[in-house]
Structure 1
């Protein structure tokens, strides 16, 4: 009788354990899918904004519209993408990197690279002095020193952005396989990450140089 009770208790405990295990798996899958869906929504909104910006840019240069308006729009789009990038970073910090997350991040990096290139073209054609701060970093690094350095740079740039709201801050990962970004890096002789590029001229690579950023802005 005691033996039968022990066997019965064992099977009860096993069933409960299996229910808890599979419930945890299902809940995890549900939250992962919800998280991916929300990030995908962020991406779609950014892609629409980039396409709108590109069309506006073509209109300006084809129809001689006001360059000031285009520069204002570029700031709005860049700030919007920057805010969405911070949300994406929050997801990254609280969850492990999956293939789906990496794919979405790569698409985001492509959008930001397109924005950077378009702003470069607009600055050259409109002869404007819009400040751009491009932060190139490694998304996939797990090296403690690099992670710490990038965290410090990111926090410092957030402060710079708050002090210079009109400056355009564009963070882009260099290790997600964006070919067009590599071409721009070669153009400006950017060989290291993390790096901060100020107005396509000034380059900041070390934490000791962060205090120079303000002086490099227009």
Structure 2
């Protein structure tokens, strides 16, 4: 099973962050990256999720920090079904799932899949800049082949973890005004509607935003 991450992040993201392809819990995918969008807390009913439009900046240090898989699970579980996690993706042996590619090259130190819904994965990150760099490379590869795909997609991230799901509702639910999570978008053509944030991430070409859409 492949995870839909917010990005619809790149071809290589065959699963997690294969960040999704379109709306609801149907598990459909567009390309190797799961694109997420949909109606959720803070959304407008048209597939657009949102965190608060006012307040402090969206810099990494202002995001929620987990520190462990157990705590990341609790954080995610406040907004969607995730009470415990498994080390292996549903339907795959340990280390053989499509999203197991997210490892040292992405500075991912641990992976877990919510048992309540096997379509949602959590990835602990040691070095946020290294993760964003790898993610940006995936997006650039996808952009070269399909420049109009997954423009408004990306991972939902905290300071030290990223989340991807096949369910767009799951992804947008985590953009709750108090969640401390935002979307990492690295698509060259990303340009959110007025009123949404678009602040620099750690890597040039990537931004932190409260806008997420399948379109």
Q: Same fold (TM over 0.5)?
A: no
Q: Which protein has the larger Cα radius of gyration, Structure 1 or Structure 2?
A: 1
Q: Which has the higher contact order (CA 8 A, sep 6+)?
A: 2
Which structure is higher in strand share? 2
TM norm structure 1: 0.23
TM norm structure 2: 0.23
